[in-house]
Amino acid sequence: MGNENPDSTELDVSVTAPQDESLTTPIETANEILAIEVSTSDIGLNVLGTLTNGGKRKVLLKNPVTGELGSYFEGDRIDIISSEPVKVVEISKCVILIERSGNFETMECNNKMPTVVFNGPGALSKYKIVRRGHNDSSILSHKFITDYDKDIMTVSAKHDVDPYLVKAVIKAESNFDPGAVSPKNAQGIMQLIPETASDYGVDNPFDAKENMDGGVEYLSDLLNYFDGDLKLSLAAYNAGKGAVIKHGFSIPPYPETTEYITKVLGYYKILKSRNYTQKNSLALKK
């Protein structure tokens, strides 16, 4: 947190909205896609691959304990596990979104880097997901996302960083709370520790614009230093550049750091998907 230690098939990534009316409600703005809270699944299944055949998307899963295999379409229930009901919500490019107990989780192919540029329009972009049994007024954190979008675009352009990556980092770091302080004294909307804030000229870490300017510049420097490697750059942002160097220019074996990288990339994928959908929809209308 701001230098804190701690067969011939065509794959695609279009998204299908859940059909359970208690889980979905229309949205109007692209940025509200961050109302979806997504975590990495610990369900213990292996994603062998995803494919598109005849216009339908399918994921191949394996239970490593029983050796049982299963193939599922979006909306299917996974039957090779004996835990609570698990539903396949979205099938993407070697990434799937599942739902269990009202929570949304991602699973990825074990041998594939996360995909951050989606290849097709997504129906999920028309919805935001709410907790089962709750009404529209309890939609997950959908109002915070409108406050800083303009500032994020401005500061990202200034430091030549993808604004969707910046937004994903802020979401993971502070959930857009400019007054956030971590147990390790990381401060503000991008959770800069005092030393990093000082290095990047941030006098008031609780000023959102000032904190973002320093944080995005720092993130830009890390991306340049690690030749654009997202995972290493995010690891350095969370655990410190020194920790990444110390571990041979690899991700430090800190659970917090690995979880942080997964979380940020998860948000980033969602944002990139929504952005692609918007652009594609506009192009089709022309």
The tens digit of pLDDT for each residue in 180-192 reads 999 889 999 999 9
How far apart CA 33 and CA 36 sit, in angstroms, is 6
Structure tokens at 194: 């005092």
CATH 3.20.20.70 fits 144-285, yes or no: no
**Got the DSSP string for 173-202?**
HHTT-TT-B-TT--BTTTTB-HHHHHHTT-
Q: Which of 173, 210, 217, 259 is catalytic?
A: 173
Q: Where in the chain is the domain with CATH 1.10.530.10?
A: 144-285
Listed range (56-60, 123-127, 251-255) with the worst mean pLDDT: 123-127
Q: What is the pLDDT of residue 201?
A: 97
For residue 177, CA distances in Å to 151, 190, 205, 231, 275 come to: 14, 9, 12, 24, 24
Q: Is 248 helix (H, G, I), strand (E, B) or coil?
A: coil
Q: Please say if the pLDDT value at position 252 is more than 50.
A: yes
Q: Please say if the pLDDT value at position 71 is more than 60.
A: yes
pTM over 0.75: no
Closest CA relative to residue 147, chosen from 260, 38, 32, 37: 32
Q: What is the pLDDT of residue 273?
A: 65
Q: Please say if the pLDDT value at position 245 is more than 70.
A: yes
- Close Cβ partners of 67 (under 8 Å, ≥ 6 residues apart): none
CA–centroid distance for 208 within its chain: 22
Q: Please say if the pLDDT value at position 44 is more than 50.
A: yes
Q: Please say if the pLDDT value at position 150 is more than 90.
A: no
Q: What is the pLDDT of residue 243?
A: 96
Strand partners, 193: none
Indicate if 173 belongs to the active site: yes
- Close Cβ partners of 93 (under 8 Å, ≥ 6 residues apart): 11, 12, 13, 50, 115, 118, 119
Q: What is the pLDDT of residue 219?
A: 98
How far apart CA 252 and CA 235 sit, in angstroms, is 7
Q: What is the pLDDT of residue 170?
A: 93
Q: What is the pLDDT of residue 99?
A: 83
- Close Cβ partners of 218 (under 8 Å, ≥ 6 residues apart): 2, 3, 192, 196, 199, 200, 237
Question: Residues 257-271: what's their mean pLDDT?
Answer: 87
The share of the chain scoring above pLDDT 70, in percent, equals 68
Q: What is the pLDDT of residue 1?
A: 67
Q: What is the pLDDT of residue 231?
A: 94
Q: Please say if the pLDDT value at position 28 is more than 60.
A: no
